[in-house]
Structure 1
Amino acid sequence: MDSPQSTKVVHYMQDLFSKYDKIRGQDKNSGYTPFWDAVVITTADKDQKQGYQLQIEAKRKRNELPLNLEIHVITDPPGVKLGNGGATFTALSFLEEFYGDKFFSMKILLIHAGGLSKRLPSNSILGKIFSVLPCGIPCYQMLDIKLALYWPFVPKMNSGIFLTCADDIITYNMDNEGDWSLKDEGFTALAHPSSIEVGTGHGVYIVKEKRSVNESVQLAECTTVLQKPSIETMRKLGAVIDNENDTKNSTVYTDSAYFFTSSVSKMLLTYAKSHGPFNCEIDAYGDFLQALGTDPLSDYVNNLQNITTTSGDLLNTRKEVFKLLKGTPLNLIILNSSQFFHIGSMPEMLHNFCKSDNFKIGLGLSNDAFNVWLDEQSKEPEPVTKRSCLKGKNEGCLIHSLLPVGSCISSLAVLEFCNFDCLIHVSKNCLLSNCEFLGSSSEESQITIPENTFMHTIPVTIKDNLKYVTIVFHIKDNLKKSVPLTDFANIPFLGDTLGKAVDKLSIPKSQIVSDKNQPEVSLWNVNIFPLADTMSDSFQLALAMSMSFNDDGKALNLESYQLVSINSILKYKSIHEMLKYRQKLFDKINTQY
């Protein structure tokens, strides 16, 4: 990031977060410009809603949020998964009921944060909107990033909804911003220059004509929205902007957050009241945006390739939504110096936190964020001036943790919310979250985490007994992939197969699945993780599971343990205990800052 534009992005983002810092724990409108009138966060179910509310309350107590900012946490009704489009309808209905007509004069940030985070299971319990980033004191969570990130658009908005998701971040620069505003009709979306290859995995905008506001911002009208198009389709329909000086680096404009006016809210509410309740999955991007613009294409309505579930009256609903929104204006704010980052999987988190200079420098991230390094002899925190131990751009990333001086975190490795009192060596491509090992008896003891390891410790309450379970995977294991029960042995697991693990770890085959009638299994719902009485014991068991594949002579025998799946962990999770553990870490670390 050494170009003049990149430098401006860094300065703009630093200034924005500095301004946000000043209103944490202060009146929300005490900053440089008025803040959001309210925030709505959507969740997958009532359990997730309760967990989010507990974390918001904890953040308020720590003065990590602006005062008098109303944050509403809502959930879809039980039953069929509705998608973020269905969740948008739910949010609009809630807002109208809660605020009445006042709702239609408010500027509201809507964050879709439901889902189980199967590709990044360290976020499955507390939620991706509360995932931590290595910046700020105390560290920012994704909620803080979202509140700050789109703040500059508030004074440029009319009343309406600004919609975003919980697992992506943009960096951008609006220079001196200029005298412009979001249109007071239809939708307005942020657009980001991206490579053609990136466009195949995102929404892509076809632009009619652009009007430059300044070097960094252009305003445009969108004719057509494509969703995850092929390269051939993008070229055929005119979505590609060729670079005259470098034809290999042609670009397209891709999607992220978007805004819609109160008049659109009223239109959507009228539709929901006459057609709801919904019984199918609706996408706030695929179904809403593709109907917009001066020349929308309707062929996507019958394409179910990107739909998770096809339950209910899906096709008719998609046709009706297209008919409702067809021809609604879609204006674009093209942020020419912006970059879009997704943090929805284990490899993405490792890459962005450890390897991507554009992400790290653009957001002002540290590789040693809000930690305390312990003197091995005294077990007491080092003086403040000796807090930081990780040095150099090639080191890994440590967040909100306590580690002994002398521990080593390899490049491309992340530790968050960890507490160790013995030396630890973390190999490359590792992600450790919420892990603890205490009571080391030998001064010579050292824990080594093998390459490509993911570990995450979770407290659970089963029959009124508090237990702990540490899930462990290879960093590239696919937790979402399902196979017939008869083929479970071939599922990749810990660099080998699940069948090899069952044999190696002496897991009784009769315990692998709880429901013998389920047609398919995945790493998400197999009972392979042992319960333990303490976090330390649980961590040791998981590490031994991982090491069993590396040393034929030291296989762990799990025959006598009670084994659980991630699916059952979600049922028995103790959010209170997890938050209590993190608060204790916070209290220990915060005294040194």
Structure 2
Amino acid sequence: MQEKKFVRYKKLLVEEAKGVKGMQFFDVVVITASDEQQAKIYEEQLLWRKQLKTIPSRPSYHVLHDPPGVKIGNGGATFVALDFLRHKYPTQFDGLRILLIHAGGYSQRTPQHSVCGKIFAALPAGPFKGCSMLEMCFAMLCDIPAKSPPGVMLKCGDDIIIFDSDLCSFDKPGFTALAHRSTVDIAYTHGVFCLEASEESGGQEQGAARCRRFTHKPSLERMRKYGALMNNELEAYTDSTFFFDMPMAMRLLTWWDEREQQVSCEVDAYGDLLQALGPEADDEYIGKGCDLLSETRRSLFQALHGMELNVCKVDNSRFWHIGTIPEMLDHFCGSTSFLVEASGGSIRQEGFALEIGAHGLGYYTKSLTSCTICSRTHESAAIGTRSVVEFCTLGDVRIGRDCLLSCVTLKDGMVVPDGIFLQTVSIMLDGRTSFVTQVMRTSDDVKQSGTLDKMSWLGMSMKQACSVLGLDEETLHALKGEAGKFWEARLYPVAESREQSVSL
């Protein structure tokens, strides 16, 4: 499947370079960012990739950041994007084919993507050498605009899906979502579609099926209650990308206008929009509270209740989430089928053994390997299995297994133990370029919070680490003795060079 998509995508770029109006692509591409600074970085990335001709230059690109203040989530960002576009293209809006990619956030579970965002994360496989998630996204969706009416295709920036577009139809009114046949373990952390009884047996019928209801991150009991389970309760249909047409976009904007074009809480584009749809949708997910989120959900439910939700079942699809360090190490180093299937055939199956999982999908297994992306390494450097090295310059060094190194420079003789995350970031300090190197375990919870004796870092409590490293506990967190966040801890010194930064 992916090899055909790569061919189509490259054909699109060649036709554009020749000035030939050939394949249809999205008219507008919108990428959302968390704030103005992140938006500027995204705009620079887009400009660079257009110059490299790895993305089409014909679409209008817009990077939109969230308004300052309270977090509004990808649902709130969807409304901001729609509002911007209807004013930007007042006479064209209802005829546009729009790709909306939610890429805001600071990628705390993959800190190497915090600066440039997950959507620009480098991949070891794809339509081009050194391609990013963005090029992969464009390649896998490049044939959708010709199959869909004007509307919005919405996706998140941290997943890769490979599916047969010929099985998809977006001509039914309202919302149409891709539905992937997945294990129950995956369903716990995704949205789940509850299909009509005649549709739940699976199959590869072309077109869209009718969905009774959608439930977000459900428990096993809830999936049983709603009749979402299949294959002896081993499987369910889960979400990824969805489409809505322009009449639905206008319906959403009507709600937005009634709210005076603002929300004051985090709205989820999946949980808070899709759960209101389908003939069996109810307001159980809203809760009985009077808080802002419950009130916003209730208002959205009233605006969308009664609208249908259609799904395109893509049973033989592949879905990869690149949202955590362990996931990245698995996918990039051969413990999943990612390298074979996402390469479009350029990485062969030799040495891989095909195994069929409980849900019928094929997985390739082989001895784990390491992965080096856009890096210069000494011929004698040793990199351990299940370790990823990206944008690094390595001398004659030894890197342990289960490591992730990003943008670091290591001199001859340096050793990195097993399970270490190491990243060097350039910063502006007092008008000068300086460097900071972040070090932690690849298993450390970057989102943890609490007092210093409750948070762990490098296998010990942060309180112990302060004692070992001679760090001042009072300056580690601005809150001093109170609960703080690992992400905001002042752990790392500033240096004048990359090499010095690693050595401090």
TM-score (norm 2): 0.90
Structure 1 segment 499-578 matched on structure 2, within 5 A? 499-516=463-480, 519-541=482-504
Matched, 1:221 2:210: yes
**Residues 231, 217 of structure 1: CA spacing in aligned structure 2 closer, same or farther, 3 A cutoff?**
farther
**Counterpart-to-counterpart distance in 2, 1:185 and 1:357:** 37
74-83 or 63-72, which moves further after superposition?
63-72
**2: distance between equivalents of 1:182 and 1:490?**
50
SS class of match (2:89): helix
Change (3 A) 1:510 1:17: same
| Structure 1 pair 339–216 and aligned structure 2 pair: CA distance change class (3 A) | farther
Which amino acid letter does the alignment assign opposite residue 44 of structure 1? S
**What amino acid sits opposite 2:421 in the alignment?**
F
Whether 1:194 aligns to 2:167 is: no
The amino acid of 1:500's aligned partner reads Q
Deviates more, 1:225-234 or 1:28-37: 28-37
Q: Deviations over 1:2-24 (max 9, x none)?
A: xxxxxxxxxx1012113223434
Structure 1 position 20 matched with structure 2 position 5: no
Alignment of 1:79-118 (within 5 A): 79-118=69-108
Aligned match for 2:462, one of 494, 498, 503: 498
2:426 pairs with 1:459: yes
Aligned to 1:121: 111
- Structure 1: how far apart are the matches of 2:288 and 2:49? 42
The answer to whether the aligner puts 1:347 opposite 2:326 as a matched pair is yes
1:455-495 CA distances to partner (integer Å, 9 max, x unpaired)? 11001111112210000111111111111xxx313311012
Superposition deviation, residue 446 in structure 1: 2.3
Counterpart position of 1:449 = 416
Maintained 8 Å contact 2:179/2:314: yes
Give 1:203's aligned residue.
Answer: 191
**Structure 2 vs 1, CA of residues 40 and 469 (structure 1 numbering), >3 Å: closer, same or farther?**
same
Indicate the residue corresponding to 1:338 in structure 2.
317
Corresponding position: 1:434 with 2:418: no
Pair member with larger Rg: 1
Q: What's the CA shift for 1:56? A: 0.9
Q: Which residue of 2 aligns with 1:556?
A: none
Instruction: Tell me the residue number matched to 2:156.
Output: 165
- 1:46-85 to 2 correspondences below 5 Å: 46-85=36-75
Q: Please give the secondary structure, in 2, of the residue aligned with 1:27.
A: helix
Rounded Cα–Cα distance in structure 2 between residues aligned with 1:366 and 1:456: 31
Partners of 2:469 and 2:503 in 1: CA distance:
14
- Please say if 1:237 is aligned against 2:221: no
Alignment of 1:114-513 (within 5 A): 114-135=104-125, 136-174=127-165, 177=166, 181-208=169-196, 209-210=198-199, 215=204, 217=206, 219-242=208-231, 247=232, 250-275=234-259, 276-302=261-287, 313-364=292-343, 394-420=368-394, 422-437=395-410, 440=411, 445-483=412-450, 487-513=451-477
Counterpart-to-counterpart distance in 1, 2:57 and 2:15: 5
> Tell me, what secondary structure is at the counterpart of 1:109?
strand
- Closer, same or farther in 2 for the Cα pair 1:214/1:204, shift >3 Å? closer
Q: Where does residue 350 of structure 2 map in the other structure?
A: none
User: Matched residue of 1:60: which SS?
Assistant: helix
RMSD: 2.4
- State the shift of 1:71 in Å: 1.1
Q: Give the 3 Å change call, closer, same or farther, for CA 214–313 of structure 1 in structure 2.
A: closer
Distance 1:490 1:342 in 2: 29
Say if 1:118 and 1:480, in contact at 8 Å, map to a contact too: yes
User: Structure 1: where are the runs of 5+ without partners?
Assistant: 1-11, 305-309, 369-391, 542-593
Distance 2:143 2:346 in 1: 27
Partners of 2:207 and 2:12 lie apart in 1 by: 30
Q: Distance in 2 between matches of 1:272 and 1:256?
A: 24
Q: Distance in 2 between matches of 1:345 and 1:197?
A: 16
- Provide structure 2 residue ranges, at least 5 long, that are not aligned to the other structure: 348-365
Secondary structure of 2:6's aligned partner: helix
In the aligned structure 2, how far is the partner of 1:334 from the partner of 1:31? 31
1:169 to 1:31, Cα distance in 2 relative to 1, 3 A: farther
Question: 4+ residue stretches of structure 1 with deviation over 6 A?
Answer: 211-214, 365-368
Matched-pair contact (CA < 8 Å) for 2:33–2:64 = yes
**Deviation of the 1:516 alpha carbon:** 3.8
Separation in structure 2 between the aligned mates of residue 212 and residue 94 of structure 1, nearest angstrom: 42
TM-superposed CA distance for 1:215, in Å, is 4.1
1:409 shift after superposition: 1.8
Tell me if structure 1 keeps the 8 A contact 2:265–2:292: yes
Alignment TM-score, normalising by the size of structure 1:
0.77
- Contact 2:172–2:310 (Cα < 8 Å) also in 1: no
The answer to whether the 8 A contact 2:368-2:385 is kept is yes
> Is the partner of 1:355 in helix, strand or coil?
coil
Would the aligned equivalents of 2:369 and 2:386 in 1 still touch at CA under 8 Å?
Answer: yes
Aligned residues: 482
